[in-house]
Structure 1
Amino acid sequence: MERTGTEPVTARSALGLRLVLAAVYTPLFVLGAVVFSLWAASAGPGSVPSGDGLAVVAGVCAALAVLAAVDLVVVVRRRRRERGGRG
């Protein structure tokens, strides 16, 4: 791959770290979304924290899970392409 920027010749890609982080946090955020969704569903009126607040946290966890999963797919495809495989 031809250099196009001002990065040093010895610069290394952070794909390995991104792969580890995405692989760890995708299931963690999915689990968080499920747990907070179930907690929100079982919260009654006057519960602390409120069911609405828990639903928001569940939504944030779900959105982060989607972002982590997309990043995981992107990193895997990019690593395959760098190694000369299909991608």
Structure 2
Amino acid sequence: MRTGSEPVTARSALRLRFWLSVWGVAWTVFGTAAFALTDRPGWALACGLLWLVMTVDLIIVIRHIRRGPHYQPGRDVPPYLPPRDPP
């Protein structure tokens, strides 16, 4: 929803988020394997759960990148009024 207070040219840094997710997946895979090999099951489980979170984030980022740009209203479109909560 456009309220008029956001920048007109605001964009999400999806490529940066993609590479940070790839970096996170690489480190969590390494951490899971390293802790599993050194017989630290608690830390391996923690890294494995983080690996799951990073993989889901990576999938979401890739999905957003593939969807492409969306309609952005120009300067000539007035801001929308924020929704009011019913009394």
Asked if TM exceeds 0.5, the reply is: yes
1:13 is paired with a residue of what secondary structure?
Answer: coil
- Which of 29, 44, 52 is equivalent to 1:66? 52
- Alpha-carbon separation, structure 2, partners of 1:83 and 1:20: 19
Shift of 1:28: 1.4
- Alpha-carbon separation, structure 2, partners of 1:81 and 1:37: 37
- Alpha-carbon separation, structure 2, partners of 1:76 and 1:4: 25
- Which of 41, 48, 61 is equivalent to 1:75? 61
Shift of 1:56: 1.3
Q: Give the match for residue 22 of structure 1.
A: 21
The answer on 1:4 being equivalent to 2:38 is: no
- Alpha-carbon separation, structure 1, partners of 2:66 and 2:22: 16
Identity of aligned residues (%): 38
Runs of 4+ that moved beyond 6 A: none
Shift of 1:14: 2.2
2:61 is matched by which residue type in structure 1? Answer: V
Q: Give the match for residue 74 of structure 2.
A: none
**What stretches of structure 1 of length at least 5 have no aligned partner?**
41-53
Write 1 or 2 for the structure with the bigger share of helix.
1
**What stretches of structure 2 of length at least 5 have no aligned partner?**
71-87
1:17 is matched by which residue type in structure 2? Answer: L
Q: Give the match for residue 56 of structure 1.
A: 42
